[in-house]
Amino acid sequence: MIYSLLVLSCPTSGNCTQTAAAFAQCVIARGHSIHRVFFLDAGTYTGAAAAVFPQDEADRIKPWLELAQQHAVELILCISSALKRGMLDQSEARRYEKQASTVHPAFTISGLGQLVDACANSDRLITFGG
């Protein structure tokens, strides 16, 4: 089956975003494919390039990078949610004349059309929030 995920949860608030990453890894392990992971609202913080995690805690971005690098999973940050949270890739940083891009290159900034497309083209749309 084809899965897409909608991630709304803030990666540093509770462990819902981590659960989403572990869920995605398990979806693939069970032989399904992931069409797209769409991060919206506070979920867009997941793509923070400069996040630093304490040594005695889990690295919260690493599972997503593994999904992108090992399984070619598309990680999309919703542009309107991302921008107002200071999550800018290089092109948006240039466009808005901000000093630095803040999004890890494994993530792409795009519009809600990508979420709508994910709904249209997936057998399962799983939402993670809170």
Q: Map tokens 């901000």 to a residue.
A: 98
CA 13 – CA 19 distance, rounded (Å): 12
Amino acid letter for position 61: I
Strands 124-128 and 2-7: parallel
Q: Is 105 in the site for another protein (CB under 8 A)?
A: no
Q: Which of 10, 16, 26, 78 is catalytic?
A: 78
78 catalytically annotated: yes
Residues 80 and 114: beta-carbon distance below 8 Å: no
The residue range among 48-56, 78-86, 87-95, 99-107 that interacts with another protein, by the rule CB under 8 A, is 78-86
Residue 101 within binding range of another protein, rule CB under 8 A: no
Residue 111 binds another protein (CB under 8 A): yes
Is 30 a binder of another protein (CB under 8 A)? yes
Give bridge partners of residue 110 from the DSSP assignment: 78
Residue 72 near another protein by CB under 8 A: no
Q: How far is the CB of 107 from another protein (least distance, A)?
A: 18
Write the CA distances from 50 to 2, 38, 71, 85, integer angstroms.
Answer: 31, 20, 23, 14
Residue 90 — φ and ψ, nearest 5°? -60, -40
Identify which of residues 100 and 120 has a Cβ nearer to another protein in the complex: 120
Active-site residue list: 78
**Binding stretches for another protein (CB under 8 A):** 1, 3, 6, 8-9, 14-16, 19, 22-23, 25-27, 29-30, 32, 40-42, 78, 80-81, 111-113, 115-117, 119-130
